[in-house]
Chains A and B, each alone.
Chain A
Amino acid sequence: MALIEVVNFKKSYGSKIIHEDVSFYVKKGECLGLVGGSGAGKSVILRSLIGLEKPDSGKILINDIDIVPLNEQELTPIRKQVAYAFQGGALFDSMTVFENLAYPLRAHTDLGESAIAEKIHHQLAEFGLEKSIHLYPGELSGGMQKRIGLARAVIMQPEIILYDEPTAGLDPYNTKKIQDLILRLKAKGVTSILVTHDIPTAMAVCDKFAFLKDKVIAEQGTIDQLKVRDNSLIQKFIEGNIL
């Protein structure tokens, strides 16, 4: 059964059409790699999946609920299930790492401060970031900011995680760390969509791919299907032969 389903998604900004008719689905526990050239509108789809943007038309079903007509308040329960790992971490720069991680817990749970502290220590230990607990985002490297952004996104134990370029601009060490984190979360049964240009990471973590080109999903399939397919657009994209 599909946990995420996008049906006839259309989006434009003014007269500029970004997506004409995009449809795809992701089953429970799967990881979909959403790939395409720069400016293809991958992040627009990802942002729409959590209601940060509204499509012009089409449906976005999360657990069979169409989130397109929902207002900000109605989206809150959906946003507790769906986590968004922002490209730059999007940490609150006026708060410490501890406060950043405590933010969703204080907003959505009845946990006391000691239980929150315990949960945060546990989470940071799992991500190998215990030492940064009292630091501000400005004192962290880009890789650490992304990992803490990810730690904050998953602290509510969401069913779905949307990764927006999680390894962009990172060195191989930090890329490997993020890759391992995604794999660990996947092993726990989390469903995810990964938007990335980092093909080795995508190949390592994704079960299937969707290739955005010319405002539509030009090709989609599992890695095994793509490997045996003649003239596969995704293969050509990966090899750098098309944009």
Chain B
Amino acid sequence: MSQPVDLPAMITNRVKEPLEFLGGVALLAKDTFKELRTRPFYGSLLVDQIYLVGVKSLPLVLITALSTGMVMALQYGLGLEKFGGKPYVPRLVASTILREMGPVFTSLMLAARVGAGMASEIGSMVVTQQIDAMRALGTSPIKKIVIPRVLACLIVLPLLVSIANLVGNFGGLVVGATELNLDAQFYFRRVLETSNLKDYIAGFGKTFFFALFIALPSCYFGLNVKNGTKEVGIATTKAVVTASLLILVGDFFLAKLFWVIEKWL
């Protein structure tokens, strides 16, 4: 005989989990920024994380940016050709990359690679009692584990997005010149003439929020692994899904925010 469904309990659990997550991440963020202001600072750990988050992610970011730029130029070119709008391709590609595709795709790639790595590494440390050992030895896991990862993401993501913007536009230029029969010099000039600082800032400004969307949930899910190695996998999945959703949903609100800021400027 099937068990009766306990609807109120089901609803409570569905609501409780996201609320616990929001509260937990808020507390983690508070502790992180509080401990950021106190000594000691672990510079070498930050350098390690910058290497792991930044340098190691570079090939992935380059490939993503190049292919995104190329596909966009191709699709815009084919679509606008019917209306004689091919000369607008450089402007459209550049603007879309600078404002949306560069920051969002780079952040999504980083969420997948770095977010998963952070959650699984920290989760494994919890399971093997290394986090407990840090606390028992009178040191703070926030300082040793969370702060270097959050700072590394805040430093590296804007740089990676800047590189992705360049590479994405280069991909657009290559397709413009080879597939759309646009002159390479014309394409390059059009990108420079039509792109402005506002486009760049609208995309670049988001990266600081996206860095927090990646690092904080990943550390949170890693630190909250409780029941052995099985939960490390679950935490890793949750970290990637949550970071990706925060980036995609947050992008809308941040786009609106920067739109309002642009109007003021």
Chain A residues proximal to chain B, CB less than 8 Å: 47, 50-52, 72-73, 75-77, 79-80, 83-84, 86-88, 90-93, 103-104, 107-108, 152
Contact = CB atoms under 8 A, between A and B. Distances in A.
Contacts of A93: 128, 130
The prevalent SS among residues of B at the interface is loop
Contacts of B40: 107
A93 to B, nearest CB: 7
B138 A79 contact: yes
Interface in B133-182: 133, 135-140
B231 interface: no
B129 interface: yes
25 contacts: A47-B132, A52-B135, A52-B136, A72-B135, A72-B140, A73-B140, A75-B138, A76-B138, A79-B137, A79-B138, A83-B136, A84-B132, A84-B136, A86-B136, A87-B129, A88-B129, A90-B129, A91-B133, A93-B128, A93-B130, A103-B139, A104-B138, A104-B139, A107-B137, A107-B139
A108 B129 contact: no
Nearest to A103: B137
B130 A79 contact: no
Sort A-B residue pairs by CB-CB distance and give the 4 closest, nearest first. A90-B133, A79-B138, A90-B129, A84-B136
Nearest to B40: A107
Interface in B76-100: none
A90 B130 contact: yes
B238 to A, nearest CB: 21
Interface in B86-124: none
Contacts of A91: 130, 133
A223 B166 CA distance: 76
B138 A107 contact: yes
Given A79-B137, A90-B128, 12 more contacts: A47-B132, A52-B132, A52-B136, A76-B138, A84-B133, A86-B132, A87-B129, A90-B129, A90-B133, A91-B133, A104-B139, A108-B138
A108 B139 CA distance: 9
A50 B130 CA distance: 15
A200 to B, nearest CB: 26
Nearest to A53: B132
A137 B132 CA distance: 17
A90 B137 CA distance: 11
Given A86-B133, A90-B133, A92-B133, A80 B138 contact: yes
A52 B130 CA distance: 12
B200 to A, nearest CB: 38
Contact of A90 (B132, B138, B139): B132
Contacts of A104: 137-139
B132 A88 contact: no
Contacts of A79: 135-138
Most chain A beta-carbon neighbours within 10 Å: one of B128, B129, B132, B133: B133
Interface in B167-207: none
B138 A92 contact: no
A87 B128 CA distance: 10
Nearest to B131: A90
A148 to B, nearest CB: 12
Contacts of A108: 138
Contacts of A88: 128-129
B250 to A, nearest CB: 30
A205 B40 CA distance: 39
Contacts of A52: 132, 135-136
A84 B132 CA distance: 10
A88 to B, nearest CB: 7
Nearest to B142: A72
B263 to A, nearest CB: 45
A104 to B, nearest CB: 5
A72 B138 CA distance: 8
A152 B97 CA distance: 52
A93 B131 CA distance: 12
